Amino acid sequence: MNLPEISLSKSLCFVAKQHVIDLVTNKPDTNTCNFHSWSNKGTWEACCYERDIKDKKCMSSKPSELTTYPGMGYEIVYWENRNVMANTVFEQWRETKASKSVILNMNEWEEYSWQSIGIAIKDGFASTWFGEEIESAMEIHICNSTETYKIEPAKEAVDSLIISTAKDRYYLIYGVFTEMEDAKKAVALYQAEGFKNTKIIVKDDKIRISLSDHSTNDGAHNAKKMLPTKYKDAWVMTY
C-alpha cells in the first residue's frame, strides 16, 4: 500500500512512554481490563478498557489529557514476558490482523488518516499511538544517546492543506508569508495549539494562513470573536 509518511510526535511519544511505565509498574490490566487500560496511580484519569467497551474516550483522550496534543489518540500494544526489540514488535504487529488494520488504515480504520505517531518500549511492553493531527516541529531526546531527533511534519500531510483555487469559503486569516516553508512551519504550530482546520491559502502572489474556514461571513466573524487574545489580529477573507 502506498500510504504517506507519518510524522513522529513528541506528545504521542510521551503518552506511549507513560503508558508502558504504568503497565509495567502498576499493572492496570486484569481479567476484565486489557492492555489499553490505565491505573488510578497517575496524573491521568483511570481507565478500565474492555474489548466491547462502548465509550472508548477514556483511552483515546489520553493525548489531550496528558499533553498539548490537539486530537484523539489510538493505540496498539505488544507484550511478552521478556525484554523485546523493536523489530520483533513490528513483525508481530504486521502479522496480527487488528494491529495491521490500525497501521494501514484498513477495515474499520479506513476513514482515519494518520498524521502523527508516538512509540515507547519498556521491559516486555511496546506501545504505539496514532493521531490525525499534525504536531509542530520540535526535538526529542533519543534514548541511550546524546543525540536529538528533530520532528518535522510529514511533507505530504502539509502539502494536502494548500489551497490555490476558489472554494467559495470565508477564511479566518492569521499570518502572511513570502516563503512556503515558513508557512508550513506556521501551520504545524497553529495545529499544535488547537486549530485543527488550518490551511495555506495561495492567492494574489501571497501565502496566507487560515485558522479556520466557514460557509458564511457571519460564521467567520463569530469564530473570530472566540479566538484567544494572541490571535486578535486575525481577519476574514473570502475566496
Average pLDDT over residues 131-158: 63
pLDDT for 66-115, tens place per residue?
A: 988 888 999 999 999 888 788 899 999 999 999 999 999 999 998 888 98
Position 143 scores a pLDDT of 60
Between 238 and 135, whose confidence is greater?
Answer: 238
- Indicate the pTM of the whole model: 0.61
Model confidence at 199: pLDDT above 60:
yes
Q: Is 125 helix (H, G, I), strand (E, B) or coil?
A: strand
**Tens of pLDDT along 53-66?**
777 889 999 998 99
Rounded alpha-carbon distances, angstroms, from residue 148 to 87, 140, 141, 145 = 21, 5, 5, 8
Tell whether the model's pLDDT for residue 183 goes beyond 70. Answer: yes
- For range 158-184, the mean pLDDT: 81
Q: Please, which residues have CB within 8 angstroms of residue 148's CB and are 6 or more apart in sequence?
A: 139, 140, 141, 142
Position of cell 512551519? 185
Q: How confident is the model at residue 207 (pLDDT cuts 50, 70, 90)?
A: very high
**Position 165 pLDDT exceeds 70:** no
pLDDT for position 187? 84
Which domains, from first to last, does the chain contain? 7-151 (3.40.33.10), 161-238 (3.30.70.1070)
